[in-house]
Amino acid sequence: MKNIIQKSYDAFSKKGYILIPNFYNYESQIQPIQKKIARIINLIAHKKNIEIPYSKSIEIIKYGFMHLINLDRSAGSEVYDAIKQIPEFLDLISNQKNQKIFEKLRKNSLPGIADGGYGIRIDIPGEKKFEAPWHQEYPAQMRSLDGIVFWSPLVEIEQKLGPVEIAECSHNDGLLKVCSKTENGLKNGAYSLRINNEDGILGKYSKVNPLTKPGDLILMDYLLLHRSGKNYLDFPRWSMQWRMFNFLDTTGINIGWRNNYDHKGLNINQK
Ligand SMILES: O=C(O)CCC(=O)C(=O)O
Ligand SMILES: [Fe+2]
């Protein structure tokens, strides 16, 4: 019988993603991040003379945050920028387990963490501006063609909260051509990249949207097509993501493991 690691490797190679339940310890690795986020929400609310009528961290994250942004939307952006600097979040990203799983899925690799390629999404119900359309990660993040997205929720992601949508096996098509569409200036940066012949390509694959809870981890191949789910509930869809790449990948070596946003002139359609 195959062991779990071999099964994960096979599933990841075939489908382009895997979900690992309870990869992180909720009490020691996830809850400390939730608690710090709640403290930062309170700090920003206090600065704005807004009182958050909740006391538990999870309530502050879910409903206190909504209360805050309903009174002052700019406070939400301040929270977003601040929380990616929480040491417990950076600790999670740098955890040895991440490197080990990368090395298991990408044999003979030398993993790196994409600088600036990490953050905590706060998908607010009804807001479309930061929704990611169907995309492969490489043109958005670069560093190396051989990379993996790490995606882990901070709240339970039920169907109506909009689990990340995945086109199973789509990584097998290789790197797809993209163009930049600004859609009346609504979307910019990586959010404006659209796959050429998106409908035709997506029609070939079945879609899945895995349900997850805090502590779970979804890993996605850099060439897998995926997009944001839609949040139909009354609190934000909180989720963490970061990217790891392979220093040994030839494409990465050729581009100096850079990305096209910080280093203009790199061609996102070129390997
Ligand atoms: O969960 C989402 O909204 C999209 C996430 C995504 O595209 C990513 O983590 O690379
Ligand atoms: Fe992505």
Closest residue by Cα to residue 139 from 205, 199, 222: 222
Taking the CA atoms of 164, 252, 23 and 169 in sequence, report the sign of the dihedral they define: positive
Q: Does 113 fall in a domain? A: yes
Specify the DSSP class assigned to residue 135: B
Ligand 2 centre distance from Cα of residue 52 (Å): 32
Q: How many domains does the chain have?
A: 2
- What is the phi/psi pair of residue 23, to 5°? -65, -35
**Could you tell which of 84, 241, 242, 244 is best to mutate to test the pocket of ligand 1, judged by most ligand atoms within 8 Å of the CB?**
241
Q: Does 159 fall in a domain? A: yes
Q: Which ligand is nearest to the CA of 236?
A: 1
CB 170 within 8 A of CB 205: yes
E strands along 37-110, which residues? none
Please list the residues that pair with 65 across neighbouring strands. none
Whether 87 and 151 map to the same domain: the answer is: no
Whether 59 and 11 map to the same domain: the answer is: no
Which tokens belong to 87? 């040491």
Which tokens belong to 102? 């990368």
Ligand 2 centre distance from Cα of residue 35 (Å): 26
Ligand 2 centre distance from Cα of residue 159 (Å): 19
Whether 84 and 148 map to the same domain: the answer is: no
CA pair distance 70, 178, nearest whole angstrom: 36
Whether 53 and 131 map to the same domain: the answer is: no
| pLDDT tens readout for residues 44-66 | 999 999 999 999 999 999 999 99
Q: Does 101 fall in a domain? A: no
Return the pLDDT at 10: 96
Return the pLDDT at 265: 64
Q: Which structural domain range is residue 54 located in?
A: 25-94
Return the pLDDT at 270: 59
Whether 79 and 31 map to the same domain: the answer is: yes
Whether 132 and 187 map to the same domain: the answer is: yes
Taking the CA atoms of 238, 139, 118 and 19 in sequence, report the sign of the dihedral they define: positive
Whether 132 and 233 map to the same domain: the answer is: yes
Which tokens belong to 262? 């910080």
Q: In which residue ranges of the chain is pLDDT below 50?
A: none
Whether 166 and 191 map to the same domain: the answer is: yes
Distances from the Cα of 235 to the Cα of 53, 86, 215, angstroms: 15, 22, 19
Q: Does 90 fall in a domain? A: yes
Closest residue by Cα to residue 139 from 13, 11, 261: 261
Give the residues surrounding ligand 1 with Cβ less than 6 Å away: 121, 123, 132, 137, 149, 151, 164, 226, 228, 239, 241
Q: Which ligand is nearest to the CA of 122?
A: 1
Q: Does 192 fall in a domain? A: yes
CA pair distance 202, 198, nearest whole angstrom: 6
State pTM to two decimals.
0.95
